[in-house]
Structure 1
Amino acid sequence: MNQQASAHVTAADISRLAGVTRATVSNWRRRHPDFPAPAGGTDTSPTYDLDAVRAWLSARGQLPEDTPADRLRTALRTHPGDGVLALHLLPVVLAAARLDRREREALPELRDDALLRWVRSAADVGAQDIPGTEDAAYAPEAAEPLRALLRCVVTDGAEAATDVLAERLLEDTGGTGTYLTPRPLAALMARLLTESAGAFPASVLDPACGTGSLLAAAASAGASELHGQDVLVAQAAQAAVRLRLNAPEAAISVHTGDSLRSDAFKGLTADAVLCNPPYGVRDWGHDDLAYDQRWAYGVPPKGEPELAWVQHCLAHLTPRGRAVLLMPPAVAERTAGRRIRAQLVRDGALRAVVSLPQGAATPLHIGLHLWVLERPDPQAEAPGTVLLVDAAAENRDLDWVAVNDTVLSAWRAYLADQGDFTGAPGTAAAMPVTDLLDEAVDLTPARRIRTASRQALRPALLARQASELYDQLRQGATDLVDLSTDGDWPPADDRPRDWRTATVADLLRGGALSLLHTAPPGRRTRSGQPQPQPEAEPGPRPALTAADVFENRPASGTEADLPTGVTLPLVEGSDVLLTEILRVGRTAMARVVEPGEAGCFLGPHLLLFRPDRRRLDPWFLAGFLAAEQNVNAAATGTSLVRVDPRRLRVPLLPLAEQQRYGAAFRRLHELRTAARRAEQAAEDVTRLLGTGLTDGALLPDGHGSA
C-alpha cells in the first residue's frame, strides 16, 4: 500500500504554523533535545518532517487551530514543485473570485475529476493575461491543493489566498533590490499625481511594478488604464491578479521583462508614471544602452541606475504628464549624477524632491526621497523654481497622517500659486533654479531648506509660538503628574494568577462579541461570519485609522484614506479597536471607541471587536487583547506581520471582576496618552527654541547667565 510522504518544512514554515517568530523556533531547536531532527535541506537551511513537527507542537500545546490558510500552506508543501504550483494557482483565485458566493462554496465539495474540469476551463479564460501561467497544467495530484485554495478563498477571501501563494512565490524568487511599497506610501505617491483641480490621470504606468501596490493605489485614486512590467514572473503574475481583484473595471496590462533592456511598452505614452525602481542594482545595462534614445538628459553613469529609471519614466509620459519615483537619498547629491540633475532642473523636468522619515519603506534605516517629475511641454516656458519638502524634519516617528499633511499641503499650495508660494520655515521651500545650479547641484531638501528658511524667520512670531508651546508643555506636565499619583497595585499570591481563557474564535461562536473589519463585499470574516453590509456610503464623515489608534488621537482619516469597492463598517461607542499590522519595534495597540467617535468609518488594518456589554467589559477586553504575549502568540507572517484575531485569548472572569481590570487598563491608557502629549510638547518647544537661538531670531532668556 502506497503511503503519501510527509511534507518537509523550513524554520519559517514552522514559525507561521505555530504563530511565533523565527527566533522562537531557533530557541526550540537549541533548548529542547526532543525537537524533531532535520529530515533534509542543508546545514545552514535544514528542513523538517511536517508530521513530526505537528506532533511535537501538539504535545507542547503550541499547535494553534488549523485554518484554511494553514491547510493551503501545508498542501503546497506536500505537493512536489510547489513554487510552480503556487504560480499556476493564481488564475484559479481570480476565476473563483468572479463567482457568486454560492458557486464558490460548492466548488471545494466537487469530486476530483469535476473539480479539475472546472479549473482547467475556468483558469484558461484569464491565464493569458497573467504572466507565467499561459501553459498552466493541473494534474490529478493537484486536486487537494486546489481544494485547499478554494476553501481559503471561501473563508478568508481572494486576497488572503493570494497572500498565501505569494509567501511561496517569494521563497522561490531570486531577485534582489525588489521591495514592497507600503500602502500608505503608495497612496501618497498616487496623490502627488492629482492636479490642483482634483483630476486624476486616466492612464498610469509602473515599469517596475512588483506585486502592483503602486498601480493599485492609482486605481483607488481614479485611474482607469493600468500598465505594469516587472522582471520577475512571479511578481508580475501577482500584480495582474491583485489589480483585477481590486480594480475589475480598469483596463489592465501586465508584462514580464527588464524594462530598461526590454521595454514591453515601447511607444506607449501614459498620463502618469509611478515607480519604485529596484534598489542597489548596478548591472542595469549601462554598456548595452549607451546610445539609447531615452537618455535625453545625459547618459547615466554606471553607478547611477536610478537616473536611468528617471529618464525611462520621462520618456513614457505625455507632455505635462507627471511621474513620482521613490529614490535613495544619495541620488540627490552623488557627484557622478550632477550633470543629469542639472539638466533635469534646467529644463523643468524635476518639479519637487521630498525627503521621507526613516522607516517609510525598505531599506528602513534610510530616509528615502520622492522625486516628482514632469515631461516638459516644448511650447511652454520652463518653471523657475523646484519645490523641496523635508517631511522628515518634524515626523521622525513616521506618523503617516502628519507626513501626508506636510507633503500634500506644500505640494498643493505650490501648484496653486508657484510664483507667490512662501513655503513653510524648516519644512518646505520653492528654490529658484539658479540657486540649485551650483557646482554640486545638491537637491537634498534638508540642506537647501535650512538656508532658505533662515531668511524667512520672523523673531516676534517665533517668540509668540515659543510661549504658546510652553503653555502646552506646562499643561501636559500637569496632566501627567495628576495621573502619576501612587496607586494601590497589590501583588497577587506567591504565584501569578492562573485563569481559564477562551479564544476569540470561541467567543465569536458563543455570541459574546462580533468581529468587523474593512473587507470586500461578500467576503466572510475570519470567524466565518458574514461581513455586515455598510451602514452608509463613503462621504464627508471621518475614518478611524490605524495611526489614530497607535497615537490615541481622534479620527483623522478622510475619504481618500479609504479603499474603494469595499465594505466600510461604522464604529459604535464602546467598540474595541486593535491594530492588525505589527509595526517595527512596537506591539499592537488597542483602545475603546469614545461616544463622540461613534459613526466614523472603520479604516483599513484595524480589527473591531463589538462586545456584548452584558458579558464583556470593553476596557477589560482591550487590555487583554493587546497584551504583548497574547499578540505575539497570535502573530502570523514574516515580512508583513499580522494579528490573527481568532488566536487571541481572553480570561473567563465574572463581569464585576472584568470591570475592575477594565478600570485599571483605562487608567494605564490615560497615563500613556498624557506621557506622549508631554513628550511631544517638550520636543516641539525645544526644537523651536533651538532653531530660534541658532538662527539668531531669539535671544537667551538669562537662566544660564552668571
Structure 2
Amino acid sequence: MTNEEFKRTLWDAADKLRGSVAAAQYKYPVLGLVFLKYVSDMYDAQSEVIRQRIADPRSDYYIEDEATRKENEDAFARDKTFYDLDNVFWIPPDAHFSVLLAQATAPDLAQRLDKAMAAIEAENPRLKGVLYREFSRLELEPGKLGELMGLIARLKFDAHKHDSRDVFGEVYEYFLGQFALKEGARAGEFYTPKSVVNLLVEILAPFKGTIYDPACGSGGMFVQSARFKDAHQAQLKKKGDLAIHGQELMAATRRLCLMNLAVHGLDGDLGQSYGDTFANDQHKTLRADYVLANPPFNISDWGGDKLQDDPRWVYGIPPKGNANFAWLQHMLARLSARGRAGIVLANGSMSSQQSGEGEIRRAMVQADVVECMVALPGQLFSNTQIPACLWFLSKDKAAGGNGKVDRRGQILFIDARKAASGRISRTQIEFTDEDLQRVAQAYHRWRGSDFSDGGEYADVPGFCYSASLADVEKHGFVLTPGRYVGAQAEEDDDEAFNDKMERLTAQLAEQMAKGAELDAVIREKLGALGYGV
C-alpha cells in the first residue's frame, strides 16, 4: 500500500466508529486493532524465518534429515523461545488477528478482543499495562466492531519494510490531524510532524548518552533518534547507545508511546506513571545529554502559581499565564554538563516582552546557554497555524566533545521559513531530505561537529548568520532570525527593464481577460439557477 492508501484505510476505519464513540477516544480502539494486526503479521513473518533456518545448512538450527525437519517444523514455529531471541512479540494462538477476524460476527467479539490483548500482555512483559483493553466498554451497534476489523485486515505490514518505520507515529500524527480538522482540538495538543522531528534530530545529532523528552507524546522523538544513531554508526566507525527517558501527561498517550517503543525494540523509562512534568516530575535527578521536545505551546494552566520558588527557575520566574519559559528552564535544569537541547516553541517566545519573559530571555543569552535559533516555515503542522521556531540550548559551547569550533559568546541564527520544498497537501508542507541537510549542515559546519560534511561555515544572506552576544544585545535580546540574517541576495537579472515591463504587462492583461471570462460563466450559471446578477 502507498502511504496515502494506508492513511485512507485508517480513516475509513475511524469513520466506522463516528457517531458511536467520542472523537477524542475512537483513535485508541482503532490503534489497538492496528497494533494487533501489526504484531500478528510480524509473528507470521518470524514463523517463516524459523522454518527457513531449520532448512538452512548455515544455520545453528539446521536439521539435515528432511523427514525429521518436516516433523519438527510446526513445533519449532510454535516455540516462544525462537521469537524472544529475535525480539519478536509472541502471539498466543487465540489472540492472533486472523483468528479473531474469523469470529468477527460473534456477539461477544469485544470481550474476546479484550481477552486477546490481556493474553498478549501476559506473554510479553514489555507490553504489561500498555495495550488497549476496553473494547467491551465501547457503545457500538451490533456488527460494527467486526466491520472495523475487516477494514484493518486490509493493512499489510511487511516485516522488512515496516520494522524500522515509525508506524504508530505516522498513524498517530495522521489521526490527530484528521480529528482536529473534523472535531476541533485543544490548543497546543498535536503530534510533531515527522519532518520537524527529523530536523530536530539532524541538528541535535543524538548518538551516545541519555536522551530525554519531558512531553514525549507517542515517542516519535525517541524512534527517530534511534534511527539517527543506527544510521551514523558506520560513518563514525563506533557504536552508538541511547538511554531513553521521558514523561507524558496523558495516560492513553503514554501507553501509545510504550507500545511504539516496544514495536521498535526500544526500552525506555517513562517514569512510574503519567503525570504533569512541572508538578510531578518523574526524573528529578536526571541529567541528560540530549533533550528533544515539542511541549504544548503557550499553555496558561500549567500550575505556575504553585511553583514560584522552584529551583528550576535559574533565569527568572516564568509567568503564570504562559509555560514557554518554564519549559525552556526545565529542560536546561535536566541537561548534563555537556548536554544540549532542541525544543519546538511558538514564535512569540523569541521576542515576547510581557510578564518578564524578555528578562528571562536576556538572562539566558547572557549566560551563553542559547546556541542556535531556527525560524520554521508556516504550514508545517496539520492542525495549528501558530508559527513555530526551534530553540537549541547548550551547556558547553567551547571546542571539545560537542564540536571542534569554540562558539562561546556566539549564537547561530537560521531562517528556514523558505527552506521546506516538499508538499504533503494543499495546506501542509514538509522538509525534504535535501532541505533537512541544508539546514542541519549549516549548524554542523558552524560547530565543527563530527556530523559535518567537512565544508567551511559561512554566513549566507537571508539564510544563516553567526551573531555575537553584543549583536544580540543591540537587538534588545530578541532572537528572531530574520533580524540577523538580512535579505537574501538578489539573483542577477539580465532582462532589460522595458522588456520586463512589457512582458509583465502582457501577462497581467492575459490574466485579466481570463478573469472576465470566468465572471461571465459564473453570471450565466447563476442566472440559470434563477439568481439575479
TM-score exceeds 0.5: yes
- Residue 214 of structure 2 corresponds to which residue in structure 1? 207
State how far apart, in whole Å, the 2-side matches of 1:366 and 1:119 are: 39
Residues 21-69 of structure 1 deviation map (CA, whole Å, 9 limit, x = unaligned): xxxxxxxxxxxxxxxxxxxxxxxxxxxxxxxxxxxxxxxxxxxxxx975
Distance 1:305 1:165, change over 3 A: closer
What does 1:76-95 correspond to in 2, within 5 Å?
76-77=17-18, 87=28, 90=31, 93-95=34-36
**Is 1:388 the counterpart of 2:419 in the alignment?**
no
* 1:407 correspondence with 2:418: no
> Secondary structure of the equivalent of 2:492?
helix
| Residues 1:430 and 2:466 aligned together | yes
- Matched with 2:52 is none
- Match of residue 449 from structure 1: 485
What residue in structure 1 maps to residue 319 of structure 2?
301
Contact 2:318–2:325 (CA<8 Å) still a contact in 1? yes
**CA 1:258–1:168 in structure 2 vs 1: closer, same or farther (change >3 Å)?**
farther
Superposed counterparts of 1:50-199, under 5 Å: 69=10, 72-73=13-14, 76-77=17-18, 87=28, 90=31, 93-99=34-40, 100-101=43-44, 103-110=96-103, 112=106, 115-116=112-113, 117-123=115-121, 136=134, 138=136, 147-148=146-147, 150-157=149-156, 159=167, 175-194=186-205
Equivalent pair of 2:341/2:393 in contact (CA under 8 Å) = yes
**What is the percentage of aligned positions where both structures have the same residue?**
22
What's the secondary structure of 1:466's corresponding residue?
Answer: coil
Report whether the alignment pairs 1:356 with 2:389.
no
Judged with a 3 Å threshold, the aligned counterparts in structure 2 of structure 1 residues 334 and 386 are, in CA distance, closer, same or farther, namely same
Q: Paired residue for 1:314?
A: 332
* 3-state SS in 2 of match to 1:244: helix
For residue 154 of structure 2, give the secondary structure of its aligned residue in structure 1.
helix
Distance 1:93 1:262, change over 3 A: same
Q: 1:193–1:200: 8 Å Cα contact kept in structure 2?
A: no
The SS at the match of 1:208 is coil
State TM-score, norm by structure 1. Answer: 0.47
Secondary structure, aligned partner of 1:259:
coil
Please give the residue correspondences for 1:165-564 in structure 2 after superposition, counting only pairs within 5 Å.
175-194=186-205, 200-222=207-229, 224-245=242-263, 247-251=264-268, 253=270, 255-335=273-353, 336-361=356-381, 365-376=385-396, 383-392=408-417, 400-401=431-432, 403-416=435-448, 421-438=457-474, 440-450=476-486, 466=492
Please state whether the residue corresponding to 1:192 is helix, strand or coil.
Answer: helix
Cα 1:129–1:382, aligned 2, differ >3 Å: closer, same or farther?
farther
Deviation at 1:311, TM superposition (A): 1.1
CA distance in 2, matches of 1:140, 1:342: 52
Distance verdict in 2 for CA 1:251–1:149, change over 3 Å = farther
Matching residue's letter, 1:437:
E
- CA–CA distance in 1 between the matches of 2:27 and 2:14? 10
User: What SS does the aligned partner of 1:98 have?
Assistant: helix
Mind listing any 5+ residue stretches in structure 2 that lack a counterpart? 46-95, 158-166, 230-240, 401-405, 423-428, 511-533
Measure how far apart 1:98 and its partner are: 2.7
Aligned mates of 2:190, 2:11 — CA distance in 1: 25
Cα distance change of structure 1 residues 92 and 431 upon mapping to structure 2, 3 Å threshold: same
Question: Is the CA contact (8 Å cut-off) linking 1:333 and 1:440 kept in structure 2?
Answer: no
Superposed displacement of residue 125, structure 1: 5.3
Deviations 1:580-638 (A, max 9, x none): xxxxxxxxxxxxxxxxxxxxxxxxxxxxxxxxxxxxxxxxxxxxxxxxxxxxxxxxxxx
Using a 3 Å threshold, how does the CA distance of structure 1 residues 468 and 369 change in structure 2: closer, same or farther? Answer: farther
Report the Cα distance in structure 2 between the residues aligned to 1:403 and 1:427, rounded to whole angstroms. Answer: 12
The normalised TM-score by structure 2 is 0.61
Aligned length: 394
What's the offset of the Cα at 1:138? 4.3
* C-alpha distance in 1 between matches for 2:220 and 2:274: 16
Structure 1 SS opposite 2:290: strand
CA distance in 2, matches of 1:272, 1:333: 25
Deviation at 1:87, TM superposition (A): 3.6
Q: How far apart, CA to CA, are the structure 1 residues paired with 2:27 and 2:125? A: 14
Counterparts in 2 of 1:295 and 1:235: CA distance versus 1, 3 Å: same
Deviations 1:62-119 (A, max 9, x none): xxxxx97577446645867896676467556445533323854333114857945434
Q: Tell me if the contact between 2:261 and 2:268 (Cα under 8 Å) persists in the aligned partners.
A: no
- Shift of residue 448, structure 1, vs aligned partner: 1.9
Matching residue's letter, 2:44: R
Amino acid at match of 2:416: A
Residues 527-582 of structure 1: per-residue CA shift (max 9 Å, x gap)? xxxxxxxxxxxxxxxxxxxxxxxxxxxxxxxxxxxxxxxxxxxxxxxxxxxxxxxx
Output one character per residue of 1:234-276: Cα deviation in whole Å (capped at 9) or x when no partner. Answer: 333333333433x224446375222122222222222211111
Preserved CA contact (<8 Å) 1:87 1:169: no
Deviation sequence 1:174-208 (CA, Å, 0-9, x none): 743212211111111111111xxxx6245322222
Counterpart in 1 of 2:163?
Answer: none
Q: In the aligned structure 1, how far is the partner of 2:312 from the partner of 2:156?
A: 42
Q: 1-side partners of 2:466 and 2:152: how far apart?
A: 50
The question of whether the paired residues in 1 share the 8 Å contact of 2:292 and 2:343 is answered with yes
**How far is 1:129 from its partner?**
5.1
What value does the CA root-mean-square deviation take over the aligned residues? 4.5
SS where residue 305 of structure 2 aligns? coil
